[in-house]
């Protein structure tokens, strides 16, 4: 009985040693972890790696009655494949709605509170009109993808 227990203990120890020797290269582990982190940042469009194809549109303070001036810049020009990011710099909520039934200009954000943002990728040359889903014609903008 005691001998069997000793043997199985030795077998377990041997397995642990083998596993340890296979995955114990600290340099490889560090590179792998770094790679995973970099991928995550890249996917999220993190500010550590600013995207040159990104255009930020500010939803201005007191924008509810500014009409075409609610968004800055307006129109916003973005290269093909670029991303437009709307950032709510106002104190009240707004949303972004593309003025089209279908296609690239048909999009709709959730309601964005102060400081929140919404982004959309534009992968074809197109001109889209958009408005705020809460204030409608009191807040209008245009996107030119070129």
Q: List residues binding Cu ion (CB under 5 A).
A: 94, 132, 134-135, 139
Q: Under DSSP, is residue 10 helix (H, G, I), strand (E, B) or coil? A: helix
> Toward Cu ion, which CB reaches closer, 45 or 60?
60
Q: Between residues 92 and 119, which has the closer beta carbon with respect to Cu ion?
A: 92
Environment class of 128 (CB within 10 Å of its CB; exposed 0-12, middle 13-18, buried 19+): buried
Residue 53 or 119 with smaller CB distance to Cu ion: 119
Min separation Cβ 93 and Cu ion, Å: 7
- Asked if residue 58 lies in contact with residue 125, where contact means CB atoms within 8 angstroms, the answer is no
| Shortest distance (Å) from residue 141 CB to Cu ion | 11
Smallest distance from Cu ion to CB 92, Å: 7
């Amino acid at each position: 009985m005691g001998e069997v227990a000793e043997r199985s203990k030795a077998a377990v120890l041997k397995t642990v040693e083998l596993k340890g020797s296979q995955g114990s290269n600290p340099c490889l582990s560090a590179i792998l972890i770094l790679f995973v982190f970099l991928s995550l940042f890249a996917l999220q469009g993190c500010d550590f790696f600013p995207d040159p194809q990104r255009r930020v549109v500010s939803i201005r303070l007191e924008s509810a009655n500014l009409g075409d001036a609610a968004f800055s810049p307006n129109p916003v020009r973005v290269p093909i494949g670029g991303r437009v990011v709307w950032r709510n710099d106002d104190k009240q909520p707004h949303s972004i709605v593309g003025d089209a039934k279908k296609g690239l200009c048909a999009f709709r954000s959730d309601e964005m509170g102060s400081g929140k943002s919404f982004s959309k990728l534009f992968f074809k040359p197109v001109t889209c009109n958009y408005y705020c889903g809460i204030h409608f014609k009191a807040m209008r903008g245009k996107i030119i993808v070129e």
